[in-house]
């Protein structure tokens, strides 16, 4: 297939391009980093890029939690307007296969179980609780302690910040495009992706990049809250392989199919910082007790559907991946 990879010069997109080429496809990169005017918000440029294309792998996006609500217009412009322009151009060009870079952030807080009330969905954590160091969500019914679990694709969406809201909107746009055109759309809801080529020294990067950047400066990684927040750290090459498989397999026409895309190995942020520091030979992490509004406490998802339906298996385990990542190159933010 000839595949247009938007954001194909970025962190994840560049690995997707490599994975597609290795599997015999013809990836075409569309990215503002490599070509003036190659912006998914530019209808003329997108239309030209789609000529002769069989499928689109849409990685271009503004990512991360950002620096405050002032970023909202830029997130909506790049992520949602950009996706709408791309999908309109695909409808016009007759391109009917799409894989979207989704995100687990659409779930908000993960799945929790209360001993009295079963599965519950805690609301956003109160500022007073965070400031007092009370980081764990409580049962919204009785206030009891709750146990975190794995989230499945059928869980209700509950975006807690601007970035999350735009990622959910992208999925809704993709679903509307599929229904209107008979196209096949897949959203891969990425977990915390890390690996070579992550951007450094930028407030929009992932936590793994923050820690690596600190270690490169000879500083201790600064771990927010108490370091016990749970995440699923998945290697970028495994994510790239999932994109290739999703493009090859396609999906049901006229609908959006969603897959959680994680390693299946939940670890705490503190564990990740300690693994990186030990492998890098740098100073040990410092747990600061700081917090960011919009962050969730625990989010780990069940990726069994992706494994069962597409035969995907992550190849890079947590400790081996962190040991490699500790000295792999980063890119300028």
CA gap 190, 197 in Å, rounded: 17
Contact 165, 124 (CB under 8 A): no
Contact 261, 313 (CB under 8 A): no
Contact 97, 161 (CB under 8 A): no
CA gap 180, 95 in Å, rounded: 13
Give the list of residues 6+ apart from residue 134 with CB closer than 8 angstroms, or none: none
Give the list of residues 6+ apart from residue 94 with CB closer than 8 angstroms, or none: none
CA gap 43, 25 in Å, rounded: 25
Q: Does residue 163 carry a catalytic annotation?
A: yes
Which one is catalytic: 163, 190, 259, 291? 163
Exposure string (b/e) for 120-159, b if CB count within 10 Å is 16 or more? Answer: bbbeebeeeebeeeebbbbbeeeeeebebbbbebebeebb
Q: Which residue's entry shows tokens 């509950």?
A: 158
> In this structure, how many other beta carbons lie within 10 angstroms of the beta carbon of residue 213?
19
Tokens of 305: 């559907």
Task: Kindly tell me the burial class for residue 284, based on how many C-beta atoms sit within 10 Å of its own C-beta (0-12, 13-18, 19 or more).
Answer: exposed
In sequence order, which ranges of 182-220 are alpha helices (DSSP H)?
Answer: 207-216
For the annotated catalytic residues, the residue numbers are: 163
């Amino acid at each position: 297939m000839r595949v247009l990879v938007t954001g194909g010069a970025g962190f994840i997109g560049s690995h997707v391009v490599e994975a597609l080429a290795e599997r015999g496809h013809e990836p075409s990169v569309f990215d503002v980093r490599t070509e003036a005017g190659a912006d998914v918000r530019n209808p003329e440029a997108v239309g030209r890029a789609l000529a002769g294309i069989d499928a689109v792998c849409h990685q271009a996006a503004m990512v991360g939690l950002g620096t405050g609500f002032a970023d909202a217009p830029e997130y909506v412009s790049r992520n949602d307007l950009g996706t709408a322009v791309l999908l309109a151009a695909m409808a016009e060009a007759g391109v009917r296969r799409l894989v979207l870079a989704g995100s687990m952030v659409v779930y908000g807080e993960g799945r929790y179980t209360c001993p009295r009330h079963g599965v519950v969905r805690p609301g956003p954590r109160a500022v007073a609780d965070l400031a007092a160091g009370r980081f764990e969500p409580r049962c919204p019914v009785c206030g009891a302690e709750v146990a975190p679990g794995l989230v499945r694709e059928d869980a209700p969406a509950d975006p807690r910040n601007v970035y999350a809201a735009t990622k959910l909107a992208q999925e809704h746009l993709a679903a509307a495009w599929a229904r209107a055109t008979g196209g096949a759309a897949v959203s891969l809801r990425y977990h915390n992706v890390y690996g070579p080529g992550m951007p450094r020294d930028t407030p929009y990067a992932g936590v793994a990049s923050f820690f690596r950047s600190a270690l490169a400066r000879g500083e201790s990684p600064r771990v927010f809250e108490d370091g016990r927040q749970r995440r699923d750290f998945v290697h970028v090459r495994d994510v790239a392989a999932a994109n290739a498989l999703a493009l090859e397999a396609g999906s049901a026409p006229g609908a959006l199919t969603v897959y959680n895309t994680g390693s299946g190995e939940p670890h705490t942020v503190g564990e990740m910082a300690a693994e990186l520091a030990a492998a890098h030979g740098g100073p040990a992490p410092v747990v600061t007790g700081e917090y960011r509004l919009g962050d969730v406490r625990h989010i780990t998802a069940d990726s069994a559907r992706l494994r069962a339906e597409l035969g995907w298996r992550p190849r890079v385990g947590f400790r081996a991946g962190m040991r490699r990542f500790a000295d792999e190159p980063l890119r300028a933010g």
